[in-house]
Amino acid sequence: MIINIKQFSSYLNGCNISVLLICLMIIILPSVNDTQFVNSTITSKLIYFLYGSIVLLVLYSLTIVFSKNKSFSFSKIDLALFVLVLYITWNRYFIQSYYGFSIRYIELLGLSFLYLVLRSIGPKNYPWLLIAIVLSGIIQAVYGNLQLLGYYPSNHSGFKMTGSFFNPGPYAGFLVSVLTVAFGMYLFKGNITSQVQSQKTNNSPFLKEVIKYIFEYIPLLGVISIAIILPALQSRASWIAAVVSSLVLLELRYSVLKNVFKKANTLKKSIVAILFLGILSAGLFGVYIFKKGSSDGRAFIWKVTAEMIADAPVFGVGFDRFNAHYMNYQAQYFQKNGETSEAVVADNTYYAFNEWLQFVSENGMLGLILLLAVVLILFRTKVNEKYLLEAFISKTGLLTIGVFAFFSYPMQILPIKLILVFLLALLSNNAANTYQFNIELNKRNQWLYKIIVILVAWINISQIYASTNDLYQGFIIWNTALISHQWEDYKGAALEFGKAYPIFKKDGDFLMNYGKTLSLVGKPHKAIVVLEQAKQYQNNTIITTALGDSYKVTKQYDKAEEAYQQAVNMTPGKFYANYLLAKLYDGSGQKVKAVAMAKKILNKEIKIPSIAIKEIQGEMNSILKKYKNPPGI
């Protein structure tokens, strides 16, 4: 078969293959949950995303090589995003003392490349990509209903519905992001349908009817299916985001408030404003009361995060370094203020439950200034009139994710970030004012240009493919080790962890699992080394108690006490770390401290009664009986 280079070049320039691949990624990726990987709802999505990105890189490189048009355009949005990503990278690697293995940073690089590909795709393809987003939401809504009915298992023991995510929070965040797109497409279905129909060279009535049905009924199905399941997830952040985005879209479509304020006098405007504020305040109060304990817990996390920001106001603690520092600040808070009422809601925390606060804590005020510049440019960008409706949907979608981000952690969830990047690219692609530059080359230089592009692409593709394969194998080995650990085959687990160590030696979660296993397998000295290393990349009560256990076995009682006390300070409302500290005092002959800790545990408020707590209290009573009249009491 003879390949016509001109036809091949023309086909690549049309980006048909790239558009199809991106559509498949958007539809399929949220539903990926390959259980052979550790933390499969997160890591398997990353692995499949990286493999998809490698294929896209091959296609994108071929497009550049065979393209006759050597012109490039960029907008203010592109420049602002480039500066932000550049700053995050510079801060992570050159300003901070440590940087660990980061799935989020790998995703950031992959999404940055995806943004470039999306920017190279013509605006006429974007309605089809919007349909792909809606289809991904419909699939997840159906999947959630099947979980509720018992046909598929949930990914969390405490909840019946999680979709392909690890709990209902990110699941609801993804669905509400899709809901905005679906609702916007349905409200403006006539204009979008006409726009798509006019772009087709085949003007057959049948094709026009098919396009009409696709762009009318798929968004409607998306709205209905997500609206049915969203209330059952009990995610207050998604409810707030859904209400805000729906009101904005309805106003953009029907201009109700605009017409009211245009005709009303000052008094009527004031009454409307007061009513709106009253309804808003009542709604927010109702959302707060609905899960008061959870709300108080998040407020406490924000309070501690503010102290992190105060200590590193300019550059923050580094991208994806929140969980390496937060629990230390929580421990300091309780060490300074004692066991306040907030101790009841304090637990091991990995997210700030407010992406804006977490971003500032990680990237500092300098990062916040750059982020706000991006937001300002986004919402002030003028778009071509032809694509105004897509711009409305894009901006409202970004607003939805931004509102959800005030109360949750969407930037930890790849499928939500995939939608975010798409909306950013859509808005940038439709910007009215762009900067363009052309590369003019003679025949000799054109060949040199093509050779350089092919070499650079080959080097990058080879390295990315090799790294992705390493991650692929590493996540499987890590999962195998955890399964062995759960079956109490600690020696087998330690061997498997050792195989994966070169890949994840800077991953806090991995080092925590490995160190805990080494402690259980009877290698306390090696466990101490690994767990101390883990504290550089993540810290929590699991790491500190495992350290305390290892120091206790090696008879380093002062260090064991320090580790256990740190765990107590992190979550003073919990019983286990206090129990370990009491047992340490008892075992090392520190009678006075043992009795004091036993009394403290027995007088401790029980948040949730359990058999474990009763057993702990029984052992504390035994300590008090053992030291009936200890010296100094």
CA dihedral 404, 410, 411, 415 (to 10 degrees): -130
Phi, psi of 230 (to 5 degrees): -60, -45
Tokens of 90: 């510079």
pLDDT digits (tens, 9 = 90+) for 316-338: 999 999 999 999 999 999 999 88
In angstroms, the Cα distances linking 408 to 324, 411, 462 are 19, 9, 37
In angstroms, the Cα distances linking 410 to 104, 143, 414, 526, 546 are 11, 20, 8, 37, 31
pLDDT digits (tens, 9 = 90+) for 237-266: 999 999 999 999 998 888 777 776 677 666
HSE value, Cβ hemisphere, 13 Å, CA-based, for 343: 24
**Among 330, 328, 321, 320, CA closest to 297:** 330
Weakly modelled stretches of the chain, pLDDT under 70: 1-15, 68-71, 200-203, 260-261, 264-269, 272, 276, 280, 283-288, 439-444, 629-633
Beta bridge partners, 74, equal 435
Tokens of 100: 């660990």
Q: Is 250 helix (H, G, I), strand (E, B) or coil?
A: helix
Contact 404, 238 (CB under 8 A): yes
The residue ranges of every structural domain in the chain are: 5-69+100-290+381-440, 74-99+292-380, 583-633
DSSP single-letter state for residue 160: S
Contact 125, 340 (CB under 8 A): no
Q: What is the pLDDT of residue 13?
A: 45
| Alpha carbons 261 and 174: distance in angstroms, whole number | 34
Q: What is the pLDDT of residue 283?
A: 67
